Structure 1
Amino acid sequence: MAFDGITIANIVKDLKTSLLDGRISKIAQPEADELLLTIKKPDGQRRLYISASASLPLIYLTDENKPSPFTAPNFCMLLRKHIANGRIVSITQPSLERIIIFEIEHLNELGDLCRKKLIVEIMGKHSNIIFCDSDDQIIDSIKHVPAQMSSVREVLPGRKYFIPDTMHKADPLRTSEDGFADILRNKPMPLSKALYTGFTGLSPVAAEEICYLSGIDSSLPPSELSEDYLIHLFRQFSFFMDRIREGIFSPCIYYRGNEPQEFSAVPLTHLTDCECRPFDTISQVLSSYYAVKNRITRIRQKSSDLRHVVQTALERNRKKFDLQTKQLKGTEKRDRYKVYGELLHTYGYSLEPGAKELTALNYYTNEMITIPLDETKTPQENAKRYFEKYNKQKRTFEALSELIKETQDEVRYLESVSSALDFARTEDDLAQIKEELSESGYVRRKFSKKKVKFKSVPLHYLSSDGYDMYVGKNNLQNEELTFSFANGNDWWFHAKQVPGSHVIVKSQGVEMPDRVFEEAGKLAAHYSKNAGSKKVEVDYIEKKHIKKVKGQKPGFVIYHTNYSLIADTDISMLKEIPEK
């Protein structure tokens, strides 16, 4: 579901109930494009989270606090100067735009009562938080938009604030029957698309719902609808908009299985194959729906430097492996040179001076063989030359074989770190991966007298039969899980021959049901490089048979006589135990 004007209308209704006449007691800017406002009222305090992130813009009430930078950014300091302890006197949404305007009353430096506006625009990559005076003059914004970035509207201090009308959409709350029909008739496209491209604040899902309520096929072009059908469609459209005008909302999330598919501020009856789970407020819907998505987005942004380090090292080692493999291929003739030398010692006496080749019986294969010769050298000198070639290529082969193995191990290790970055959920997870890369020499360690401590812990799941299952999120955790945490009779799982997490199942000293092995296999498949595949081969074995190779990177193990199973990567049936 798009973060559309209907969702904004529901948020505005909730914010009016919770924040009007409240005083802004704290202003924080946890990220470059985020604000966290703490508003106090006689019945308690509320926190308002606002994000103008290009990838995930949001606004909702939350109970959670977020750590702020040691030095507050300039925009945050400006807001503190002007509206700290200010009173929120109005919260409005112009038309059905994805815009919320907070009007804040405060005392200026001279003690005079003034008003300012904090305008939140939730518009995808164009999202912004803009601070204006009472005359809509921009004081500052969390993102500056100069003319080079946008020819439609500059967002800079001193400019006049206005809402750009780039799409020329109609206001759905004030559309007449004749205007409705005219707008649709001029759109040669499917009906649902004509609705959401013709009217402000409608998302594709909301447009689909209006068509479904009307009983009209959403794929039909409006030009094929009769006058009666258009009247009927307008009535359903009006009923739908009446709910918005009257503030009748039903915030909910629609699930297919355990996966959230859509969220909405109004019922979506066309999602007949989904389960609807209602919530008390739209803020609860948004925090629940976007909590995981927002965390993943932020972690990916914060892990970009580590990803670059790992990817660069991977590419370098893969190129090195290709070069070493080509060089190794050049040593394939080494044994032939040895045979040439031995045959020259055996049959060289029969050669005439200046001979260019020797044809003789190869007593290793019982086949005739022709040996090229340097006619300027004696048979003994030719034999010596071939033995020297053999010894040189033998040494090259032995050295390259060892180097190739080292390079392969390095590629496998870096691929495992790359997978660990995909599994990272918190900044502590990233810090642990960075520490691992420091120990391996890929990242320069910052000097510190304090020993680094990590709050990052393995993932904890509960099987359907009540067995505890643990998943390492990176190589250091894999090492700890397997060799410090697991007992000898616990079971160890890992996706076969691909980077992935170690999975430990606590056996409780009893024989486990088959279903536990299947579910642990699913975990190992899910937390591997093959995540998303329908079939992944997984090795499993009792922990006591797992060995650590001295000198190897963390998380690398060897084992023999293991069992194998085929698993998919669906872990929706498993209960994850939250970290304490």
Structure 2
Amino acid sequence: MEGLLINAVLRGFAGRLPARTLGWAFPDEGTAALLVEGLGNLVLRYRPPNPLLTLEPGTLEGEAKTAFQRSLAARAKGRLLEARQLKLDRVVFFGLEGESGFVDTPPTRLVFELTGRNANLLLTTPEGRILTLDREVTQQVNRFRELRPGLAYTPPPPYEKLDPRTAGPADLERLLGLSLGQAASRHLDGLGKELTQELARRAGLTPQTVLAPEHLEPLHRALKSLVERPGERTSLATELRAEWERQEAEALRRPLREALHKRIHTLEARLADYRKALARLDEVPALREKGDVLLAYLHRVPGGAASVTLEDFGGDPLEIALDPALTPAQNAERYYSRARRLEALAERAMELEPRTRAQLEALHREVAALEGASLLELTRRLERRDGPGEGRVGLRLRSPGGFAVWVGRNSKENDFLTRSAHSMDLWFHAQGIPGSHVILRTQGQPAPLPDLLFAARLAAYHSKARGERNVAVDYTAKKNVWRPRKAAPGQVLYTGAKTLFVDAEAPSALSEGVD
């Protein structure tokens, strides 16, 4: 993002600071959005190679996904006091006042470097000591400018260029003899390749035009125009929301897809068994023939033999395997029994195969529909309460006060349900004991004590403490729960929890609350 575009965004703060901040949102791992009262979302997209600074209206969502984002949410608080650009360079400083409370949050300063492939976002003290940052820069990467927590922040090297906001026609005389592209790159602050092309267009020139005295006046007018209106401000709203929705939808879609594929695999295995059963129907005549021959020549079968060779009814020799522990008649019945079993399996296969194929086709259609489903459709599917149904993720219950309650039954369901919950839903887990994640779907509404106890008992009951008395169960808003990077599904950390002590027994209303 070029310097003049950054300057245009920062002009939106003129006369409106200090301003109250209303909290952070993190739509993805490379984007932070600070909601500023009266201004909208201050969006900082800090991952290389295309960083972006913009003010966006509406609501952006997303919990902290990295350690840096969690640190940012915990430390960067209070009123926004300052939004300042270093000259027209791609470096911006935001001062935050901090907050007073039970634990005071000291003032901090955000440093946003929108420098292409070297883009970075840092949080420092007001004096400039680095507290945390997205990407550390070691001496092996840059021996002149190291960026690590604990070090003093050093801005990019200083430079001297014309400030297009104050430059007059006489100041532009130093550009004579250079092409417009060279002049902008070497001598004009805040202009990159795209703005240089826009400057040339407004001046009626090309970037390759060698500047002569007659070009200075139209160039000055174009430059002033570019300062006031550098072009359409880059908006991240549509792109950001689309990417965030794609990520959230995929998080919801993945366990649903796995459940469907598991059922598909089961049905395909059944069809394979049916095909084997039908193929083995060809064995029945031979089995019955062996039984018939044994009964016809019982007197010729020696006792305790493992096999015998007799003539079949066509006069050809027929070798028959025997169980030495059985009599000849019992061996014959054994062959008849095997023939009847194969016939029964084939009959059942013929009955069930069409039904199973229909179920399999329906599942493949469901998978296709799932892949094209939007975030809203996936959320509605998750919240649907039309009976247990196959493939439902987690147990679905009702609390005494009517709130929906979700209970994960394994690590993948725990991960899925916790991801799917509203940020203000309440999350429950037995303290320090492996067990289910339980979500009380309050969506920020106050939950009466009976509902809290209901969810807590479920968390205790669906844990390793089942059957014990006085089990500690922690609960907190889902927004305070996060899965550490590289952690296995269902493994989370959380803050701000309260604790209830309950017996690890199924709530009395459990059998009545199943959706």
Q: TM-score, normalised by structure 2?
A: 0.49
Select the structure of larger CA radius of gyration. 2
Structure possessing the higher relative contact order (Cα contacts under 8 Å, 6 or more residues apart)? 2
